[in-house]
Structure 1
Amino acid sequence: MSAPSTRRVIIDTDPGLDDAVAILFALNSGRFDVLGLTSVAGNIGIDITTKNAGRLLALLDRENIPVITGAAAPLARKGIEEAGIHGNDGLGGVVLPEPFARPHGYAPYWMAEQLHASHAHSVDILALGPLTNIALLLRDHADAARRIGRLIVMGGVVHGRGNVGPHSEFNFACDPEAVDVVLRSGLDVTLVPLDVTRKVRANVAFVQSLRTGTAGNAAADLISAYFQDGLESRPLHDPCVMLLALAPELFRVETRNVSVDLSDGPDAGALLAGTIPVKIAMEVDVAGALNLLAEGLAA
């Protein structure tokens, strides 16, 4: 692995199969100081995404980490759910223990408290779902939001097809207005788009290599539920956020000037050519990424 990370993180998430794998990696690798999991509606409704966050913590006996309920709906439009991919439980039928405790608080307010209580720029936010909570933090607690270190976001697509509209990606299509708020904020934002995540997929041998320990076995079950054809998984989108946070040398990141499609058309949320400079990961060392993921899950 790369040199150990000392960064403290908040994971903003809508678990979700690939979210769950990313969270297991963060919790099990020993490389993140996870302050809390903030939930957001996305892959499935807020009650289920929140409960799934708690289930992952219970699996690894991390009752010291809180779950905080976030936004139940996008800023200005109806949300999109992906139960067809993630199952009605969001976890593809993989059974996890019940949460230790009920979630508490309200995510944007809790985030603001954590940021004010920490040294400026010492807490990163790893955003795995729609950006609604982050946009609300910026709107309602701007002083706190300016204290964020890095904001690493799974979302968008630059080249090629989208996975919701012709050029729109799911997380960004769920809440285009939130994306626009975040990208215009001036925060240190790095996007991890479909251009990268579609290249990171697991095969059967990779899954078998994970089957050591609680986190590895659970991740193997979750990824198996994410297979399309018995040979290869769907893209491991959200783990790429954690991998970039730990090992940016595995990614080629460039700055592009973009805007966000805020229309009501099929490409709502799509990244367009524009005037907002944003760092975007465009290439990934796939073998290196999978090796790091396996090391963290099977540790």
Structure 2
Amino acid sequence: MTSRSVIIDTDPGLDDAVAILFALNSGHFDVIGLTTVAGNLGIDVTTRNAGRLLALLGRPDIPVISGAADPLARPSIDEAAIHGNDGLGGVALPEPLAIPHGYAPFWMADQLRTARARSVDVLALGPLTNIALLLRDHADAARRIGRLIVMGGVVTDKGNVGPRSEFNFAADPEAADAVLRADLDVTLIPLDVTRKVRAGLDYVQSLRGTIAGTAAADLISAYFQDGRESRPLHDPCVMLLALAPELFEVETRHVSVDLRDDPGALLEGPLPVKIAMGIDVAAALKLLANGLA
């Protein structure tokens, strides 16, 4: 488990926040920036939340760069009913220490052109609008991405937006289609896997004791659905696969993105994509807890 330079493209969001806390606290990621996208909530809220997480852990050295405020071609989908109007379930966090600067696709292009080719991974936790814009406007830089690990899609399970569509892909299916069609090293983590990763009450209590762990416990508690178990911890799976791919069963499937009937759904198609279809849940939860501690 070695340190990799990463850009976290995100729309915090409760589970995004837990994933970011893990990446910042575990010591295994060199986070060079948080780029934000409209997704769970609007761009102003997601950008503020990214800054609040950095302020909590005292990381003013990491920039927040605001990105796409709207999908490429469709209206936004609002998830305030799940994440709260503030995106973090009312969990109190400090205000950002710095003002966001730049525009995410431009900033990402600059970072990728400056770094050694394929030495920077992109961990995508939200809709893929920023990545699609990077591909459209800065294709030379996009080709320099190392791994692109994406929380998105659903393969054999049911969807959480449409019958077969998952939120991140449904929020901007044109962006998902553009990214999967590009010649990038993409690995998807779909609902089929992330729905297996949930936290119980005892697990949440065990996280408390550090700043990151206590905040994660509060965030996961706000994400509980029935008082006994959390909703799926979708986005932390991206960090866990980046850090310990051996915990996942990854296979290549041939897919396409539905842009018409159930926008964002994965269909059988011509595009070969690496997709995680299994996970060692116990080991993944243990690694997540260790990183937060």
Q: TM-score, normalised by structure 1?
A: 0.98
Residue 79 of structure 1, CA deviation:
1.1
Within the candidate set 201, 217, 220, 2:217 is matched to: 220
**Helix, strand or coil for the counterpart of 2:39?**
coil
Secondary structure of the 1:150 match is: strand
Asked if structure 1 preserves the Cα contact closer than 8 Å seen for 2:3 and 2:27, the reply is no
Which runs of 5 or more residues in structure 2 are unaligned? none
- Are 2:280 and 1:285 aligned? yes
Q: Partner of 1:161 in structure 2?
A: 158
Deviation at 1:212, TM superposition (A): 1.2
**Count of aligned pairs:** 293
- For 1:269, the equivalent position in structure 2 comes to 264
In the alignment, the residues of structure 2 paired with residue 185 and residue 11 of structure 1 have an alpha-carbon distance, to the nearest angstrom, of: 19
1:40 to 14, 37, 40: 37
Separation in structure 1 between the aligned mates of residue 158 and residue 177 of structure 2, nearest angstrom: 20
Question: What is the CA–CA distance in structure 2 between the aligned matches of 1:119 and 1:205, rounded to whole Å?
Answer: 43
Q: Deviation at 1:92?
A: 0.3
Deviation, structure 1 residue 228: 0.4
Matched to 2:255, the amino acid is V
TM-score with structure 2 setting the length: 0.99
Secondary structure of the structure 2 residue equivalent to 1:207:
helix
Amino acid of the structure 2 residue aligned with 1:241: V
Cα displacement string for residues 13-62 of structure 1 (whole angstroms, at most 9, x for unaligned residues):
00000000000000000000000000000000000000000000000000
Structure 1 residue runs of 4+, over 4 Å off? none
Instruction: Give the match for residue 180 of structure 1.
Output: 177
- Equivalent in the alignment of 2:246: 249
- In 2, Cα distance between equivalents of 1:50 and 1:43: 11
Question: 1:138 is matched by which residue type in structure 2?
Answer: L
Matched, 1:85 2:79: no
Instruction: Specify the SS of the correspondent of 2:35.
Output: strand
2:289 to 284, 287, 294: 294
Deviation string 1:215-247 (CA, Å, 9 cap, x unpaired) is 000000000000001100000000000000000
Alignment of 1:135-146 (within 5 A): 135-146=132-143
| Mapped partners of 2:78, 2:251: distance in 1 | 31
Cα pair 2:18 2:216 within 8 Å, conserved: yes
1:115, 1:212 → 2: CA distance?
37
Partner of 1:193: 190
Partner Cα separation in structure 1 for residue 26 and residue 93 of structure 2:
19
Q: Aligned match of 1:149 in 146, 149, 160?
A: 146
- Please report how far the alpha carbon of residue 6 of structure 1 lies from its aligned counterpart in structure 2 after TM superposition: 2.2
Q: How far 1:81 moved relative to its partner?
A: 1.2
Give the fraction of aligned pairs with identical amino acids, expressed as a percent.
79
Q: Indicate whether 1:208 and 2:220 are aligned.
A: no
The Cα of 1:101 is off from its aligned counterpart by 1.1
Letter aligned with residue 140 of structure 1: D
1 CA distance for matches of 2:286 and 2:156? 26
SS at match of 1:163: coil
1:230 maps to what in 2?
227
Aligned-residue CA RMSD (Å): 0.5
Equivalent-residue separation in structure 1 for 2:145 and 2:275 (angstroms): 18
